[in-house]
Structure formats: C-alpha cells, structure tokens
Amino acid sequence: MIQLIDVSKSFNSDSHTVHAVKEVNLTIREGEIFGVIGYSGAGKSTLVRCINLLERPTKGKVLIDGVDLTKLREKDLRAYRQKIGMIFQQFNLLGSRTVFENVAFPLKYRGRKKSEIRERVLSLLELVGLEDKANAYPSQLSGGQKQRVAIARALATEPKILLCDEATSALDPQTTKSILRLLKDVNRKLGITIVIITHEMHVIKEICNRVAVMEGGRVVELGDVVSIFSKPKAQITKEFINSTSNLSKIDELIKEKSQIVDLKAGERIWRLDFHGSETKEPIIVQLAKNFHIEPSIIFGNVEVISDTVLGSLIVLVKVDQEREQEVIKYLEEKQIKVEVIKYA
C-alpha cells in the first residue's frame, strides 16, 4: 500500500518558487492499477517521483506498507527503492548495451550471480514477449519493443510497485493497446501495484481501477473509474471524458447551427445516459407505447469500462412541454439520466 500524506513539493529558482504538488493525500491499494490524469504541468510526474523519493517532498509523508520513506537513511532507502520499478515515455534504455544487458543491468548493479541473472533475464524477456531480441540493440527495436525492454528491466528486481510516467505517450494507438495489455498482465500475474500517469483518458479507461485527476498541483477528483465516467464532478474531469467520446459534438453542432439540430415547434434534443446493467428494458419502445413519443437517435456513444457498459444517446423528441417533466421522471425512475440540451 502506498500512502501519500499531505505531500507538497516546491521548486525554488532564483526569482520564484513553483508549487508543483500541493497537499496531496492519496492511498493506493495493494494490487490495484491506479491512474493519475492531468494536463501538462499539473504536477503528475513530480507527484509520482515523490513515491520513490526521486523527488523529496518539501512537506508530508510517503508511506510504503506503513514505512515512512522520508525518514529512512540512504542505505535503507536504496533497499526500498528496489521494491519500486519505474518506466518512462522515452524508455531510457542504454543505447550501447543489448536488450539482455539492459534488463540485466539492475541485477548486475546489485551484485547478483551470473547464472541467476541469466535465468531471470531470459524469463523476463519471455514475459514481455522478446525472447528472440536478447542480442538486439535498442536502435534496432520499435517503440513498443523498447518499452517492453524497459518493463522487463523495471521488473528485474522483483518490485511490488511499478510507476509508469506517460509510458504510452510516445506510442501509436495499436502499440499503446498492446503495452497496456502487458501491464495488465503484469499486474494480474505478479500482483504488482501499478501507478499510471497519463494525459489521455482512454488509457485510464482501458486498464485503471481508480483514478485521481490533478490540476494545478492538487488532486481535484478521485474515485473508481466507472463512477468517474458516469458521474464526473470537476469541470476538468468532464473535459477529459468528453475527449474520449463523440458526445460533445452536439455542442458544436448547436453552435454551428447545423441542419441536424434545427428544431421545429415542440421538438427537443435530449441526452440520455444509462448504465448497461441497470437498464434492462426496451426504453425506446416504452416511450412510444406509454407516451406516444418516438425518439429519433441523432448519435450515441458506448463506453465499456471493466465489465460495465455506459451508454449515451443524443435523441430528438417531440413532446408537449407540460408532459416533458413527467416523461423525464419516468425515465429517471428507470435509471436513465436525462439532460435537455436544446428546445425549440
């Protein structure tokens, strides 16, 4: 378990102080995949570097399994750092060493036996799917393969925690997917707690259990990923979610006065949000049957997060103003959230 207690980190330069992380309190549970999302400059890297004390917090405590790292002597801290692996956007491989030597490096550095190193490195290369690249040099590898080497190297000392700082930000979407799948595998097979920093909501959606949203050095929202997606509170969280769906397109269409949203008297545009598991009834049919309303679907979006389906529909309906509230109430009783986006 990782606990950050009231952690702040400031950087002083000649002329001013940058408060990169401000009073962050966070508990990351054993074995979870925890995401930290925020725009560039939000303080994500600084925060995560506080976890292994690559940055020493200006204030606050960093507890790993109850032990406060900020209180440890250098020698004890080194032992703890072995338990925390890290990977980066730019892979940080040694260009003049082979794949094998890169992965072996942390083991050699710690004076492990040659035969032990060989066995461990080969099994790690197998885990990341690079058995056949042991003798290749980083320059001969694709970005995704380089990140696989970096993951193998980070796992060499059998860490309990893996910190990933924008590990997929330099990769194309397909390769990103395969690296995220590998991380999920590592999490499941080895029981390693993973902390993922990203500025991309689809990365969070793909593999995280919980997420913290950072803005201006602070954690402004925190929760399990399904709740964050279905009920975001902070404005910035809503922006990140919109970036992964096409739903905000409706606002653009309205702004552009598009034909599609040109309403006649009595017509409205609604946004319906539903949880796949809670909404079992054929709601469109029921609207027709019970209220003589026949919504036409303008477009929709479905997110599948963990095993939860979160669906949204933008629909055009014709409904009397007096009856609208009644219909909305009916839908909300069926666990469908209704937002009136535009009315004629």
Ligand X SMILES: Nc1ncnc2c1ncn2[C@@H]1O[C@H](COP(=O)(O)OP(=O)(O)O)[C@@H](O)[C@H]1O
Binding site for ligand X (CB under 6 A): 11, 18, 20, 38, 40-46
Residue 18 binds which of Mg ion, ligand X, none (CB < 5-8 A, kind-dependent) = ligand X
- Which of ligand X, Mg ion, none has residue 20 at its interface (CB below 5 to 8 Å by kind)? ligand X
The separation between CA 122 and the C-alpha centre of its own chain, rounded to angstroms, equals: 30
Q: Long-range CB contacts (< 8 A, 24+ apart) of 257-266?
A: 260/298, 261/298, 261/342, 263/316, 263/342, 263/343, 263/344, 264/318, 264/344, 265/344, 266/318, 266/319, 266/320, 266/321, 266/344
102 binds, among Mg ion, ligand X, none (CB under 5 to 8 A by kind): none
Residue 84 or residue 338: which is nearer to ligand X going by CB?
84
Q: Binding partner of residue 41 among ligand X, Mg ion, none, CB under 5 to 8 Å per kind?
A: ligand X
Nearest approach, Cβ of residue 210 and ligand X (Å): 18
Minimum CB distance to Mg ion smaller for 45 or for 168: 45
The least CB distance from residue 21 to ligand X, in Å, is: 7
Give the number of other Cβ atoms within 10 Å of residue 342's Cβ: 16
Any contact of residue 168 with Mg ion (CB under 5 A)? no
As measured in angstroms, the least distance from the Cβ of 54 to Mg ion is 12
CB of 19 to ligand X, least distance (A): 8
Cα separation, 101 vs 124, whole angstroms: 12
Q: Which does 11 bind (CB under 5 to 8 A by kind): ligand X, Mg ion, none?
A: ligand X
Question: How would you label 93-131 residue by residue, b for 16+ Cβ within 10 Å and e otherwise?
Answer: beeeebbbbbbbbbbeeeebeeeebeebbeebbebbebe
The strand order across the sheet containing 59-64 reads 17-28, 2-12, 59-64, 67-68
- Our CB check for ligand X shows the closer of 13 and 174 to be 13
Dihedrals phi, psi of 98, to nearest 5 degrees: -75, 170
CA distance 342 to 344: 7
31/41 with CB nearer ligand X: 41
From the list Mg ion, ligand X, none, which binds 106 (C-beta under 5 to 8 Å, kind-based)?
Answer: none
Report which residue's Cβ sits closest to Mg ion: 45
Q: How many of the chain's residues bind Mg ion (CB under 5 A)?
A: 1
Partners of 4 in beta bridges: 26, 62
Residue 311's binding partner among Mg ion, ligand X, none (Cβ under 5 to 8 angstroms by kind) is none
Considering beta carbons, is residue 48 or 149 the nearer one to Mg ion? 48
- Find where tokens 């309906």 sit: 317
Rounded to a whole number of angstroms, the minimum distance from the CB of residue 204 to ligand X is 14
Of the pair 18, 344, the CB lying nearest Mg ion is at 18
Task: For 185, list phi and psi in degrees, rounded to 5.
Answer: -60, -45
Residue given tokens 């002329």 in the structure block: 15
Question: Could you tell me how many helices (H) and strands (E) the chain has, helices first?
Answer: 12, 14
Q: Does 45 bind Mg ion (CB under 5 A)?
A: yes
Which lies closer to ligand X via its Cβ, residue 40 or residue 115? 40
Residues that bind Mg ion (CB under 5 A): 45
